[in-house]
Amino acid sequence: MADINSVARGFADFYYQTFDADRRNLKALYRNHSMLTFEGQQVLGADAIVEKLTALPFTRVQHRISTLDAQPGHPDSGAVVIAITGQLLVDEEQNPQQFSQIFTLYPEGGTYWVYNDIFRLNYG
């Protein structure tokens, strides 16, 4: 079994670097039955998820991870559940926004794909 903390860290680094560089390139991480819940709005399928992410109203973004926790998913699946908190800066903003994001990853061919992706900005 892969070390879930290493999987989580490697995934998070790759995901946010890719997101910050060009969100369109995230499509390979999702499948037709992947679901994104973004600020309460549910989106199903890789095409729709990438369409949602690329339509977000900012040009540039930079994510900074503050915490990253990982747990094994269902014991027979090899899944990994990842919870992340952090900050993001968009466009010319000087004050970062706090966010949390949860992923469920499933192994496939020596790598992982995203089954669940839940994103929330944290206010207050």
- The pLDDT of residue 29: 97
pLDDT at 7 over 90: yes
- The pLDDT of residue 80: 96
Tell me, what CATH number does 60's domain have? 3.10.450.50
pLDDT at 11 over 60: yes
- The pLDDT of residue 75: 86
CA angle 13, 51, 36 (to 5 degrees): 60
d(CA 72, CA 91): 35
Expressed as residue numbers, the domain containing 67 is: 4-122
Residue 65 has, within 13 A of its CA and on its CB side, a CA count of: 19
CA separation, residue 99 to residues 5, 62, 63, 69 (Å): 20, 12, 9, 14
pLDDT at 123 over 90: no
**For the chain, how many structural domains are there in total?**
1
How many C-beta neighbours within 10 Å does residue 99 have?
Answer: 19
How many C-beta neighbours within 10 Å does residue 23 have?
Answer: 17
pLDDT digits (tens, 9 = 90+) for 105-117: 999 998 999 999 9
- The pLDDT of residue 2: 61
pLDDT digits (tens, 9 = 90+) for 44-99: 999 999 999 999 999 899 999 999 999 999 888 999 999 999 999 999 888 999 99
